Structure 1
Amino acid sequence: MLRLLVSLYIVVFASIIAINQGSEAVWRNWVEQAPDDLRHATAVATHYKHALTQLSEEDLTSFFNNETQLTVFPYEDVAWLPEQLEALKNGEIITSFDDTGNALLLFVVNSTSVVQLGPFAPAQSATTKQYTIKFLSFSLLALLLVLWLRPLWVDLVQLKRTSEKLASGSLDLTPTRSRFSAIYTLTQQIEKMALKTASLMSNQKQLVNAVSHELRTPLARLKFALAMLAPKDPEQVAAMEEDVMEMEVLIDEMLSYARLEFANQQLHMQRCDLAHLIQDQIDKLRRTTDKRLVTDITSDIPVKCDPHQLSRVIQNLLQNADKYGQSKIKATLTTHHNMARFIVEDDGPGIPESQREQVFQPFSRLDKSRSKETGGFGLGLAIVSKILSWHGTVCHVGESDLGGAKFTLALPLIAD
């Protein structure tokens, strides 16, 4: 950051000095040295005054009689302003203006006579030139700042693209940076961190694939061995088989959740009828549950989603309600303010308000005993949260009128 501040200070300081010196040079050569009748006449009047003060009274009278460009009159004939009279007595050349706005140059000779030279057209206003120089100066300063900011902008855009790739799970990182950027060291460190993160994500993906193959093989051999031992001790073997099946389910869920880290790269977003997806999952649940299932599904609800992944969300919410509900499950699909709202409620123990955010964390369960009656490993709602994040929404937890938990998700409707 020190490099950034120092470079900005140097660029601004040097630019202001250079532009200021350049503006003064342009002003002297373009404005002050520009042709000006009045300024030229003032120089002529100064020459006349110097020459006339050297003449005698007779020569001066003869000169005025022969010179038609000069007008001579006693200075008492004019009602001078005090400052004008003071300047004339001090031997200065003053400027006055006639009724038409033309300039008159006046000076005193021999302390009695006032010599008038003119009239001359007044000097042109330099306001336009002044504002033109200011505009060009500020434009040049802005251009210099843009040149300084360009490498910084390139690096920031590159960092944005890198972070977007990491967020989407892409590991194809090709960082490029400008050595002239003021944040060169910062971008260097961030890119190292990004490459390290990409390496960790790649290692995680390889670990998931290894677990998928390596753990299933010994589990299969163990199941085969238990099947061979079943005739000798059926009860003991049956309990062991349940433990093996539980381990297999856990591995499946862990692998399923791990694959979600990379699945959003293959999302297939399309127009879907949300009511149809929900009804399919409800029909599946009816075939396996012994609880009363109440539904209120509004038909023809078009949304943009990945139908496979969103069906998984609906299935997990319904299975969660079936797992913890006592006797009744309620599923509702409505529309409100251009949003589709899907609500799943149960009459189970509910979720305390202080733990409603926690249930979406991986391996998080309110039932710490992990009893086989309720089953699960705390990954179902974590999967729901992950998939919904790809769809730009979240699942909210509340209290149901049935006495248990209430899960609500909302998706924007799309135009027909």
Structure 2
Amino acid sequence: MIRLLISLYLVVFLSIIAINQGSELIWQQLAYQQPDDLRHASQVAKSLQASLSVSKQLPSSLRHYPLDEVAWLAEQKAQLLQGDIVTTYTEKNNALLSFLLTGTDTVVQLGPFKPVEQVLIPKYLLKLSSFVLLALLLMFWLRPLWRDLMQFKHVTEQLAKGQLNISIAPSRFSAIATLTSQFHSMATKVANLMNNQKHLVNAVSHELRTPLARLKFALAMLEPQTPESVSQMSQDVQEMEFLIDEMLGYARLEMAQNTLKFESFDIVALLDEQIAKLKRTSTKHIELVCPYKTLFFTAERQYMARVLQNLLGNADKYGQSKVYVQLQKTPNHVKIVIADDGQGIAETDRTKVFEPFSRLEKSRNKSSGGFGLGLAIVDKIISWHGGRCEIETSKWGGAQFVLTLPKQNQA
């Protein structure tokens, strides 16, 4: 911070000094070298006043008259009596120079002289050029800083999209070159950690399938001898297989963002399709409130189907007898509400349920099922679409999930 402040202060300070000195030099060389008859005449009048006061002789070409012949202002008369040069102007704005001969009441008048031409336009142009030059100098100082900041933005966007090929070329002239290098190191470590995590999850999940397959074969061989024990162990093996499938599915999501294909599809048809699948296995009353026959919406259809499948499955699993689905359209968003009449989710737990492997039950059991990845998958997919998933309390006291998705291409 101190380095950045000192660097900016020195650039601005030195630039202002250089611009001021340069502007003054240019102004003196260009503006004041123009002919200035009045200033030159004033110098001549002073010299003439000094010489006439000594010789007491007036050339015939000089106009002179008594002091009281003209109605002078009090200030002008006082200046004349003090020996100063008084400047007056005619109706045509021509200048007249008057001075009083020393020891007499005779006023000598020189002129008329043309008025001094205004030089405002060149003056303001010079000032404007100075400000433009200062802006260019500041842009020259800011360019390496802007370049590094744009690299920060690019790298964070890459990490957010799951692209792990991080490359930064910090500028040595930038005021934040050290910070850029440290950020590069941090981003590389984060990318390596993410890459290692993916490989670890995939390797562990795949490697577990081989011993599980052997266990299933062994259990099949033992089933005629101890069917009860084998049945319980088979359920445990199936639960492990389901967990592996869930972990693989979640791991694939980390890499899927780079291959998303957004397209326009009918969200009403997708809802009908998922509800029809649920009705095949569910005994609960499923109510759909949708005032639209078709509603086209731009998103990744495959993953939106996964979101609806997970939320509908949760509502069916934890609801008592009802599952409620509603589709709403606003000027800027599409909203999908999925509710049930179960026990609901406490406000303190509503952010935790979106964390991977997070479950409200303290123990995992076969009756409740699940491994805490369903809502984490929902949250990740919705975030890809720039939307949000909020949990509320339904009118029956159960959980109500509200999906809010930005309207991309709705007809």
User: Structure 1 residue aligned with 2:361, among 356, 359, 367?
Assistant: 367
Q: Identify unmatched segments of 5+ residues in structure 1.
A: none
Give the partner amino acid of 1:318: L
Cα distance in 1, alignment partners of residues 286 and 118 from structure 2: 89
Partner of 1:19: 19
Secondary structure of the structure 2 residue equivalent to 1:152? helix
CA distance in 1, matches of 2:145, 2:302: 42
Question: What amino acid maps onto 2:335 in structure 1?
Answer: R
Match of 1:315 in 2: 309
Q: Which moved more, 1:142-151 or 1:336-345?
A: 336-345
One-letter code aligned to 1:25: L
Question: Are residues 1:267 and 2:260 paired?
Answer: yes
TM-score by length of 2: 0.94
Residues 1-44 of structure 1: CA deviation (Å, up to 9, x unaligned): 22111100100111111112112222322233321111122222
Out of 70, 75, 82, the residue aligned to residue 67 of structure 2 is: 75
Match of 1:380, as an amino acid? Answer: G
Q: Deviations over 1:37-82 (max 9, x none)?
A: 1112222223322332332x5xx25x32xx2xx2011112122223
Q: Does residue 349 of structure 1 match 2:337? A: no
Task: Please identify, of 327-336 and 231-240, the stretch whose mean Cα deviation from structure 2 is larger.
Answer: 327-336
Matches within 5 A, 1:2-401: 2-55=2-55, 57=56, 60-61=57-58, 63-64=59-60, 67=61, 70-112=62-104, 113-297=106-290, 298-337=292-331, 339-401=333-395
- Read off the aligned partner of 1:376 and give its amino acid letter: G
Secondary structure in structure 1 of the residue aligned to 2:395: coil
Q: Tell me the amino acid that sits aligned with residue 105 of structure 1.
A: L
**Identity rate, percent:** 53
Displacement, 1:384? Answer: 0.7
Contact kept? 1:103, 1:122, Cα under 8 Å: yes
Instruction: Please identify, of 117-126 and 39-48, the stretch whose mean Cα deviation from structure 2 is larger.
Output: 39-48
Q: Could you report, residue by residue, the CA deviation over 1:372-414 in whole angstroms, capped at 9, with x for unpaired residues? A: 1111111111111111111111122112223321112133442
SS of residue matched to 1:370: coil
Q: Distance in 1 between matches of 2:196 and 2:410?
A: 42
Contact 2:322 2:341 in 1 (8 A): yes
Alignment partner of 2:34: what SS?
Answer: coil
Contact 1:103–1:121, Cα closer than 8 Å, also in 2: yes
| Distance (whole Å) between structure 2 residues aligned to residue 347 and residue 263 of structure 1 | 34
Give secondary structure in 1 for the equivalent of 2:294: coil
User: Hey, what's the Cα distance between the residues in 2 that align with 1:341 and 1:78?
Assistant: 92
CA RMSD of aligned residues (A): 1.7
What per-residue deviation string (whole Å, max 9, x for no partner) do you get for residues 66-102 of structure 1?
x2xx201111212222332232223222211122221
What is the aligned residue count? 408
Structure 2 alignment gaps of length 5 or more: none
Distance across 1 between alignment mates of 2:295 and 2:90: 87
Q: Distance in 1 between matches of 2:329 and 2:20?
A: 65
Cα pair distance change 1:391/1:110, threshold 3 Å: closer
Secondary structure at 1:134 match in 2: helix
